[in-house]
Amino acid sequence: MSLVKLTYSEYTNEPRYWEISDASFSKINLIVGKNSSGKSRLMSVINSFARILRGQQMAFESCRFIAIIILNNREFRYEIDFKAGSVTKETLNIDGIEKLTRDENGAGKIHYEKENIFLDFKLPSNAIAAVNRKDEIQHPFLIELHQWASSVVLYLFGSDFGRSHVMELTDAQAFFNNQNLPTFDDPNDLVKVYTSAYTRFGEAFDKSIITDMNRLGYSLAEVGADNLQTMMNFPIAALGIFVVESDLGFKNAQMQLSQGMFRALALVIHLNVCAFSRNKQLIIVDDIGEGLDYERATAVINLLIRKAKENDMQLIMTSNDRFVMNEVPLEYWSVLKRKGKIVKMFTPLNSKKQFEEFKYLGLNNFDFFASDFFETEVSNA
């Protein structure tokens, strides 16, 4: 499953208009661009689009999403338009064949797979058909869309990453008494993410975390969760993450780790949850390497690429760090260039000539990012 292309625009014909046109993606992507070029905004747009299809987000004033996604070797083209909180257009085509369409009044038609016919429907104007018409028998294509959307996760590498979030022991006891403990993937609740995954996957999960942290240059002997009051002066009995570094030999609680080490640990835990549970197919990491030195930043990127390839996950990263750019091969690059209110993305697929020509100049990757290779195309946008 892969996101292939995304076009997004908002507030058409208004001063605050903004657009990214035909952003295309491969399996491994590093999105680079100068400050204010739209990197983080694009990540937020992708995440918002997935939330729409999961039924978790609706409050849009005026915008349009057009996405092409490959699901089970078929091309899904989904478009949805919003205006003043209502859906004004929604369509779904699979391999060029219409499956769903609706108008601004909520009236539309949808294909019933079992009978091989189209039937009319009518929804409230603010309801999303792709969410409200899911049916495993009659509309399995909407189930496929929902499964893809549920497989998308956004990690803000430069954020707190749940470092200050702990779980009171009374809450932890109730949590673990759940006989059907689910696997959590909340990027802001590392304690619950780790403990639920460890309960499900056991020692193999810890060993994989330790191995990956060692690859990043952090020599760990142990990782786990324990009462913070046994490790430090903490005001309440609460469960927190700890690590034991090989050369220290004692438990260090999550809030005692350096910012860089905690971010690396949090990302490694999340990546292993994705790998062990097999329920994530698109991993988005914004500001990768933020707060890490050169060696660790490049090691994190190499680990991400390795994990994505080993587990057949699509990976989208962003960065404007020159050391990061010089480490990641140009074949994974996407360069964002903004001209006024329009952002264009240049990749080895849609700008093959420019990427090929640069290889013969003998310059580093950052020079390619800073160059004017794409300025003509942007000016003509």
C-alpha to C-alpha distance for 373 and 344, rounded to whole angstroms = 13
Please list the alpha-helical segments (H only) found in the chain: 39-54, 129-132, 140-150, 169-176, 190-201, 203-215, 259-277, 294-310, 322-327, 352-359, 365-370, 375-379
Measured CA to CA in angstroms, residue 235 lies from 230, 257, 259 at distances of 11, 18, 22
Rounded Cα gap, residues 137 and 209, in angstroms = 40
> φ and ψ at 235, to 5 degrees?
-70, -25
List beta partners, residue 281.
none
- Which residues are paired to 67 by β-bridges? 6, 78
| Per-residue model confidence as pLDDT tens digits over 90-137 | 999 999 999 999 999 999 999 999 999 999 999 999 999 999 999 999
Q: 284 with 152: CB under 8 angstroms? A: yes
pLDDT at 352: 82
Tokens for 129, please give them: 């058909």
* Contact criterion met (CB below 8 Å) for 77 and 61: no
Q: Quote the CA–CA distance of 18 and 87 in Å, as a whole number.
A: 19
Q: Mind listing the pLDDT tens digit for each residue in 130-149?
A: 999 999 999 999 999 999 99
Entry pTM? 0.90
Residue positions counted in the chain: 381
Q: Where are the domains of the chain?
A: 2-27+34-151+333-379, 156-280
**Of the candidates 84, 4, 18, the residue with the CA atom closest to the CA atom of residue 341:** 18
pLDDT at res. 43: 94
Distance CA 61, CA 74 (A): 31
Structure tokens at 180: 């059907």
The tens place of each residue's pLDDT in the chain, 381 residues long, gives 799 999 999 998 888 999 998 899 999 999 988 777 788 999 999 999 999 999 987 667 899 999 999 999 999 999 999 998 899 999 999 999 999 999 999 999 999 999 999 999 999 999 999 999 999 999 999 999 999 999 999 999 888 888 888 888 888 887 777 766 666 778 888 999 999 899 889 999 999 999 999 999 999 999 999 999 899 888 888 999 999 999 988 999 999 999 999 999 999 999 999 999 887 789 999 988 888 888 888 899 999 999 999 999 999 999 877 777 777 888 898 888 888 888 989 888 888 887 777 766 666 676 666 666 665 564 555
The pLDDT, as a whole number, for residue 376 is 57
Among residues of the chain, what percentage have pLDDT more than 70? 92
pLDDT of residue 20: 92
Q: Which CA distances in Å does 309 have to 21, 24, 155, 289, 375?
A: 27, 19, 18, 19, 33
Q: Which two tokens stand for residue 7?
A: 């076009």
